[in-house]
Amino acid sequence: MLSPKESVRAVPAYHPPLAGRDGLRLDFNENTVGCSPRVLEKLQRLTADDLTKYPERHAVETAVAGFLKVKAAETLLTNGVDEAIHLLCQTYLGPGDDVLIVAPTYSMYRIYGMAAGANVISVPLGKNFGFPVTELKQRVTSRTRLIAIANPNNPTGTVATCDQLLELVRAAPNAAVLVDEAYVEFYGQTMIEYRSDSANLFVARTFSKAYGMAGLRVGVLIGNPEQMSAVRLVCSPYNVNAVALASVPEAIRDQSYLAEYVGGVLEARGRLQNWLVLSGIEFWRSEANFVLLRVGSSKADSARFVEKMRLRGILVRDRSSDHGCEGCVRITLGPGEHADRLLEALPSVIEECSIAQGVSRR
Q: Point out which residues bind ligand PMP (CB under 6 A).
A: 29, 80-82, 106, 150, 154, 180, 182, 206, 208, 214, 219
Q: Which is nearer to ligand PMP, 284 or 353 (CB)?
A: 284
Residue 290 to residue 311: CA distance in whole angstroms: 21
96-100-104 Cα angle (round to 5) = 130
Residue 129 to residue 126: CA distance in whole angstroms: 5
Q: Which is nearer to ligand PMP, 182 or 328 (CB)?
A: 182
Q: Which is nearer to ligand PMP, 166 or 288 (CB)?
A: 288
- The CB-of-327 to ligand PMP minimum distance in angstroms stands at 21
Burial class (CB in 10 A: 0-12, 13-18, 19+), 36: buried
- The CB-of-119 to ligand PMP minimum distance in angstroms stands at 21
User: What angle, 0 to 180 degrees and rounded to 10, lies between the N-to-C axes of helices 255-279 and 337-357?
Assistant: 30
- Cβ(89)–Cβ(146) below 8 Å: yes
- The CB-of-263 to ligand PMP minimum distance in angstroms stands at 21
- The CB-of-2 to ligand PMP minimum distance in angstroms stands at 29
- The CB-of-115 to ligand PMP minimum distance in angstroms stands at 16
Q: Which is nearer to ligand PMP, 82 or 98 (CB)?
A: 82
**Strand duo 328-332 + 317-318: pairing:** antiparallel
Q: Which is nearer to ligand PMP, 125 or 182 (CB)?
A: 182
* Nearest position to ligand PMP, beta carbon: 80
Amino acid at 258: L
- The CB-of-101 to ligand PMP minimum distance in angstroms stands at 11
Q: Which is nearer to ligand PMP, 92 or 109 (CB)?
A: 109
- The CB-of-181 to ligand PMP minimum distance in angstroms stands at 9
Q: Which is nearer to ligand PMP, 182 or 345 (CB)?
A: 182
